């Protein structure tokens, strides 16, 4: 019988020790140290694109199969293939396509995850947020912040479809999800029409007699006509970002900061034929193509997009954008988890050493 070497004896003793430690719900850090403290992050989420042409028929089919009386929200979740088992589009962000058919309402409720709606297809319709009825037209951004009552209704003759964005994966990880249904299916309208828009939608002007205490934007509605006008004014005269073109942020008008403490929303215009430089940041992002066609190169993978498609960029992943038209602009809406990383001093950005990816 061959005698065990000193190394084998030690390994056997350590293995027995590690097994014994399990009885105390402890484990040795030194066995996983290199996995826990990596040189740089590598997201489990992967770059991915969801095609509007493929998903719109599926949303309409969902409307045929299940009513809003059966589903709390009739949403097709955009789930990242690299995050199986999680309700997540990136590690900390969620997105989905919600559809409300003519004559339907999505009943009122509130929850701690913050949410917004970026309208894709609509002839009208509305969302009511804490008693204010807000119109929903293509390109509009409607906020439903943390713990605000909200319901949706379609009083038009055609389907309404919008992009949902929520911080639910982050709030789930923090074990801070709360949900409450409203006593009735629809909340009463108690505020004048466009009340937050009149108060806070005048740019640098705001009511001097009010001191908002919430951490989210008090402006619930960012109309597309104002957003598009701002992009058109800037595009001919502004150099813009080398990484994002002419990019604007939807801000909290009382602080100048992001619309939510957990999510920042942006709109960007790529001029005809414009190609951006590549960079990466610790914030993850989800993009919706408002108009135009082109591609984004994400971690070396080409994602070809056209109007109304959605794609995601995981954190710390190189990405760049290309407008595929030589005559027409391309417009992208996006949201990120940058405010959380900024608050924790974890937001980093790095340009690609070659300027662009192969």
pLDDT at 104: 96
Cα–Cα distances (Å) from 205 to 22, 142, 197, 200, 219, in that order, read 61, 20, 12, 7, 13
Cβ pair 100, 60 in contact under 8 A:
no
In angstroms, rounded to a whole number, what is the distance separating the alpha carbons of residues 246 and 228? 12
Strands, E assignment, 170-236: 179-181, 221-222
Closest CA to 337 of 270, 288, 266, 272: 266
In angstroms, rounded to a whole number, what is the distance separating the alpha carbons of residues 293 and 243? 18
278: which DSSP letter?
A: P
In angstroms, rounded to a whole number, what is the distance separating the alpha carbons of residues 264 and 336? 5
In angstroms, rounded to a whole number, what is the distance separating the alpha carbons of residues 28 and 312? 36
Half-sphere exposure of 124 (CA within 13 A, CB side): 9
Instruction: Going residue by residue through the chain, which has 358 residues, state the pLDDT in tens, using 9 for 90 and above.
Output: 566 788 788 999 999 999 999 999 999 999 999 888 999 999 999 999 999 999 999 999 999 999 988 998 999 999 999 999 999 999 999 999 999 999 999 999 999 999 999 999 999 999 999 999 999 999 999 999 999 999 999 999 999 999 999 999 999 999 999 999 999 999 999 999 889 998 889 888 888 888 878 899 999 999 999 999 999 999 999 999 999 999 999 999 999 999 999 999 999 999 999 999 999 999 999 999 999 999 999 999 999 999 999 999 999 999 999 999 999 999 999 999 999 999 999 999 999 999 999 7
In angstroms, rounded to a whole number, what is the distance separating the alpha carbons of residues 115 and 153? 17
pLDDT at 202: 82
pLDDT at 2: 67
């Amino acid at each position: 019988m061959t005698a065990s070497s000193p190394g084998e004896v030690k390994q056997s003793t350590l293995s027995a020790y590690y097994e014994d430690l399990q009885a105390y719900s402890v484990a040795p850090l030194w066995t996983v140290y290199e996995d826990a403290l990596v040189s740089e992050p590598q997201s489990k989420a992967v770059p991915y694109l969801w095609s509007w042409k493929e998903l719109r028929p599926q949303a309409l089919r969902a409307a045929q199969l299940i009513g809003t009386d059966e589903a709390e929200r009739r949403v097709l979740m955009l789930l990242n293939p690299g995050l199986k088992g999680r309700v997540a589009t990136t590690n900390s962000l969620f997105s989905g396509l919600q559809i409300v058919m003519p004559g339907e309402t999505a009943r009122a409720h509130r929850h701690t995850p913050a949410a917004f709606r970026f309208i894709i297809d609509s002839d009208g319709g509305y969302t009511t947020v804490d008693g204010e009825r807000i119109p929903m037209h293509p390109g509009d951004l409607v906020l439903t912040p943390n713990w605000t009552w909200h319901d949706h209704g379609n009083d038009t003759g055609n389907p309404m479809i919008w992009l949902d964005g929520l911080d639910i994966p982050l709030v789930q990880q923090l074990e801070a999800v709360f949900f409450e249904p409203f006593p009735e299916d629809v909340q009463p309208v108690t505020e004048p029409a466009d009340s937050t828009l009149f108060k806070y939608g005048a740019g640098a002007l705001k009511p001097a007699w009010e001191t908002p205490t919430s951490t989210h934007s008090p402006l619930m509605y960012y109309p597309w006509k104002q957003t598009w006008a701002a992009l058109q004014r800037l595009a001919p005269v502004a150099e813009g970002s080398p990484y994002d073109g002419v990019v604007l942020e939807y801000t909290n008008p009382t602080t100048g900061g992001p619309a939510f403490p957990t999510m920042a929303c942006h709109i960007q215009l790529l001029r005809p034929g414009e190609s951006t430089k590549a960079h990466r940041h610790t914030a993850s992002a989800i993009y919706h193509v408002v108009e135009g066609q082109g591609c984004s190169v994400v971690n070396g993978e080409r994602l070809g997009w056209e109007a109304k498609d959605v794609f995601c960029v995981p954190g710390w992943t190189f990405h760049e954008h290309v407008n595929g038209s030589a005559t027409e602009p391309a417009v992208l809406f996006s949201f990120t988890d940058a405010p959380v990383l900024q608050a924790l001093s974890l937001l980093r950005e790095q340009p690609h050493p070659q300027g662009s990816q192969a």
